[in-house]
Amino acid sequence: MSDTKLRYSKQRETIYEVLREDPSHPNVDTIYMNVRQIIPDISLGTVYRNLNLLADQKRILRLDVGDGAVHFDARLEPHYHMVCDECGSIQDLFLDETLISPLIDKVQQVCDDQITSAEILFHGTCRHCLKKKH
């Protein structure tokens, strides 16, 4: 975590709270639309700048799931993500670390670098899309 202390900002805290209450891993445009319901005169630039500040301060996560947009996540506990190839939704996956550690160990054995963690993005079909198919 960065040692730089940000001074309090009502706008930043509102942005953070909006993100915290949205488990869908929204992109900046979605967060902006939701924040505007609370702070009508806030600019997209202010939302974007504050999301990046929060991510730089390790208060939120930036996610790149390959759809061309940056998504954000307020859940900081260790977890992974699954992207639905049908609807594009992003789901949280809480996996036992005993599943991931052996994979990191195997990768460590075949490379000369020191691996300390992994960001694994799973792809598939979410339960909602699976229900629609049946």
Crossing angle (nearest 10°) for helices 28-36 and 10-20? 110
What are the CA-CA distances from residue 127 to residues 63, 73, 84, 134 (Å)?
22, 21, 9, 11
Binding positions for Zn(2+) are: 84, 87, 126, 129
Which sign does the torsion angle of CA 7, 10, 15, 18 carry? positive
Binding positions are: 84, 87, 126, 129
